[in-house]
């Protein structure tokens, strides 16, 4: 409605952030609220994504990339060296992106499974 009264995006967004910060919806009402916001976005062609939402989206994407990298590395290890133990699976699942990238590159030159995890 504020858009209908002529208020601009730069005036409305801080107000929406303040309202969300002050009022916590019960979990079962959050989907209803989000659906209403999405409907308004489509109707008004406005963008309403909170900072916390953007951060959550970025974290979700990063987790998905790490999981995908770990899954690929496990498949490559199994193809190259056969079945891997639970300790190897756990180590890979606990690793960050940098380690996974290093290990994925190491597999190209590794003669043994242990060589993959060096350096």
The pLDDT, as a whole number, for residue 36 is 82
Name 3's Cβ contacts closer than 8 Å, sequence gap at least 6. 12, 44, 46
Helices (H), 82-118: 86-94, 97-106, 113-116
- Spell out the domain ranges in the chain: 9-48, 52-116
pLDDT string in tens for the chain (119-residue length): 776 777 777 787 788 788 878 887 788 888 888 788 777 767 766 555 666 776 787 888 889 999 999 999 999 999 999 999 999 999 999 999 999 999 999 999 999 999 999 86
Reported pTM: 0.55
Name 78's Cβ contacts closer than 8 Å, sequence gap at least 6. 84
């Amino acid at each position: 409605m504020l858009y209908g009264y002529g208020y601009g995006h730069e005036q409305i967004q801080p107000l929406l952030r303040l309202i969300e910060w002050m009022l916590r919806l019960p979990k079962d009402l959050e989907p209803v609220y989000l659906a209403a916001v999405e409907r308004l976005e489509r109707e008004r062609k406005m963008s309403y994504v909170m900072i916390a939402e953007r951060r959550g989206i970025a974290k979700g994407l990063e987790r998905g990339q790490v999981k995908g990298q770990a899954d690929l590395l496990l498949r490559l290890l199994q193809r190259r060296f056969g079945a891997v133990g639970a300790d190897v699976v756990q180590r890979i699942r606990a690793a960050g992106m940098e380690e996974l990238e290093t290990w994925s590159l190491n597999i190209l030159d590794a003669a043994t499974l242990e060589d993959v995890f060096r350096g």
